[in-house]
């Protein structure tokens, strides 16, 4: 009866998160045909480079300590992890702002960002907002407050696309995409903070204890030592295609790639991220209760594969035609990229159980080695392929490498979990 109850709660929480994420993604999808008729592929290309840098920088802004918020049994420890992670985020963001101001011209030239050099200081601001959101996101996961996460995602998505449309209509070009994203980050983050403080403000402020900050920093140091560089490498490996395509081809090619990967990642985010966050809390509970987790991981992997196979097949077969119809003339090129990217993204989608198991069970060191190998082979494979193949076929090589590594990761994590459980 208890397992059935837990399963029902798990499904209910996933549904709550999916409802908010789904509405947020629906807003973005509905507006995308408008954006593709306002902004050029070149604008989307530059914007893609900007957003990938933000996502990469956000990882090292918090050193991934926010992921440990859901792990302690004591609520006081979680609260203090939240606050020292916020402190870390602000300190390092200030450092990144100084770098972006001092070396802005060199950075803009290196990354082919053109006339965005005067706005590079907004990159660490965006990364800070994303980091703060992630911190309060994991606090909400710990407290099973999934409704507030859903609401904040809808406000973020709605704010982003509204601002991008308005700024695009007044001909701000790629700057409109950038400022629209920042506006969305801002209202989404502050919406979540407002909801957290409304319920938890008194408990949060009463529990701050600077004395235990260093103790907790060392207790969960694996997140900074292993999970942070692993996530940085993972994020960096996703920045490889837009950067390499921009160097060897042109901004329009980057724009086609960026929109192709963005639109097919939306349904992945809808289901995968919702399962990810609920499953993280579920596994943390099982670990604290000394229960087996390998079967849970395997069941989640099989379930995600069952719901992703048919949609992935349809994207592989028909995405160029669908993109041309949906986005407008010429955007079928984005569908050519998505046709091959779905191979990697399918396996990236179904490995959610393995990745969560790694974080909860303390296997970050091995995961870092995995990411180093994946990043290196992806980079070498893409650089070689762009010199002998066209852009679309080069992305096929990149995608196949990602798919193979994700399959290997699932197998290794499951075997490792079984070995650990057999020793209990």
Cα radius of gyration rounded to whole Å, the chain = 21
pLDDT of 8 reads 56
pLDDT surpasses 60 at 7: no
pLDDT of 4 reads 45
Across 188-192, average pLDDT: 94
Integer Cα distance of 72 and 225 in angstroms: 19
Across 346-372, average pLDDT: 84
Residue at token pair 């499951």 = 414
pLDDT surpasses 70 at 34: yes
Integer Cα distance of 197 and 181 in angstroms: 24
At residue 6 the predicted structure's pLDDT band, cuts being 50, 70 and 90, is low
More confident residue, 119 or 184: 184
Structure tokens belonging to residue 327: 């986005």
Integer Cα distance of 246 and 240 in angstroms: 10
**In this structure, are residues 89 and 128 in contact, taking their beta carbons and an 8 Å threshold?**
yes
Residue at token pair 């008194």 = 202
More confident residue, 20 or 74: 74
Query: 48: closest CA among 240, 302, 193, 267?
Result: 240
List the Cα angle 321/322/323 in 5-degree steps.
95
Q: Provide the angle, in degrees to the nearest 10, between the axes of the packed helices 251-268 and 294-327.
A: 130
Quick check: helix, strand or coil at residue 143? Answer: coil
**In this structure, are residues 255 and 397 in contact, taking their beta carbons and an 8 Å threshold?**
no
Four-point Cα dihedral 264, 358, 396, 56, nearest 10? 70
**In this structure, are residues 363 and 357 in contact, taking their beta carbons and an 8 Å threshold?**
yes
pLDDT surpasses 60 at 165: yes
Structure pTM?
0.74
Across 34-40, average pLDDT: 90
Residues 6+ away with beta carbon under 8 Å from 218: none
**In this structure, are residues 354 and 272 in contact, taking their beta carbons and an 8 Å threshold?**
no
Range of weakest confidence among 186-190, 222-226, 227-231, 285-289: 285-289
What DSSP string describes 368-414? Answer: HHHHHHHHHHHHHHHHHHHHHS-HHHHHHHHHHHHHHHHHHHHHHHH
- As a residue count, the chain comes to 424
Q: How does pLDDT run across 311-352, given as a tens digit for each residue?
A: 899 999 999 898 888 888 788 888 999 999 999 999 988 988
Range of weakest confidence among 163-177, 276-290, 314-328, 386-400: 276-290
pLDDT surpasses 80 at 28: yes
pLDDT of 1 reads 41
Work out the mean pLDDT of the chain and round it to a whole number: 84
pLDDT surpasses 90 at 125: yes
Residue at token pair 């957290």 = 196
Integer Cα distance of 188 and 32 in angstroms: 19
């Amino acid at each position: 009866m208890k397992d059935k109850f837990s399963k029902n709660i798990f499904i209910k929480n996933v549904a709550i998160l999916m409802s908010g994420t789904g509405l947020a993604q629906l807003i973005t999808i509905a507006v995308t045909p408008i954006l593709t008729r306002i902004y050029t592929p070149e604008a989307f290309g530059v914007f893609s480079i900007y957003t990938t840098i933000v996502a990469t920088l956000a990882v090292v802004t918090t050193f991934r300590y926010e992921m440990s918020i859901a792990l302690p049994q004591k609520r006081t420890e979680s609260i203090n992890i939240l606050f020292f992670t916020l402190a870390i985020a602000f300190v390092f963001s200030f450092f990144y702002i100084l770098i972006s101001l001092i070396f802005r011209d060199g950075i803009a030239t290196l990354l082919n960002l053109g006339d965005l050099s005067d706005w590079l200081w907004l990159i660490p601001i965006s990364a800070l907002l994303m980091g703060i959101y992630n911190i309060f996101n994991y606090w909400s996961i710990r407290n099973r407050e999934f409704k507030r996460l859903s609401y904040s995602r809808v406000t973020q998505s709605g704010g982003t696309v509204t601002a991008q449309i308005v700024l695009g209509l007044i001909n701000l070009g790629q700057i409109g995409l950038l400022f629209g994203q920042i506006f969305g980050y801002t209202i989404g983050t502050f919406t979540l903070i407002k909801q957290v403080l409304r319920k938890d403000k008194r408990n949060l402020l009463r529990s701050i204890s600077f004395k235990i900050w260093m103790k907790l920093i060392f207790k969960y140091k694996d997140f900074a030592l292993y999970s942070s560089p692993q996530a940085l490498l993972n994020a960096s490996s996703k920045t490889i295609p837009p950067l390499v395509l921009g160097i060897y081809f042109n901004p329009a090619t980057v724009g086609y790639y960026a929109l192709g990967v963005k639109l097919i990642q939306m349904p992945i985010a809808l289901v995968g991220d919702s399962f990810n966050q609920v499953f993280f809390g579920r596994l943390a509970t099982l670990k604290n209760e000394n229960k087996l987790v390998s079967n849970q991981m395997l069941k989640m992997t099989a379930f995600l594969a069952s719901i992703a196979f048919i949609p992935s097949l349809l994207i592989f077969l028909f995405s160029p035609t669908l993109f041309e119809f949906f986005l407008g003339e010429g955007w079928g090129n984005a569908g050519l990229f998505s046709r091959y990217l779905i191979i990697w993204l399918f396996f990236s989608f179904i490995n959610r159980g393995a990745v969560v198991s790694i974080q909860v069970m303390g296997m970050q060191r091995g995961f870092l080695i995995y990411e180093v190998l994946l990043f290196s082979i992806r980079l070498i494979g893409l650089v070689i392929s762009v010199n002998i193949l066209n852009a679309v076929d080069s992305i096929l090589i990149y995608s196949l490498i990602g798919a193979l590594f994700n399959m290997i990761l699932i197998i290794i994590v499951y075997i490792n979990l079984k070995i650990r459980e057999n020793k209990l």
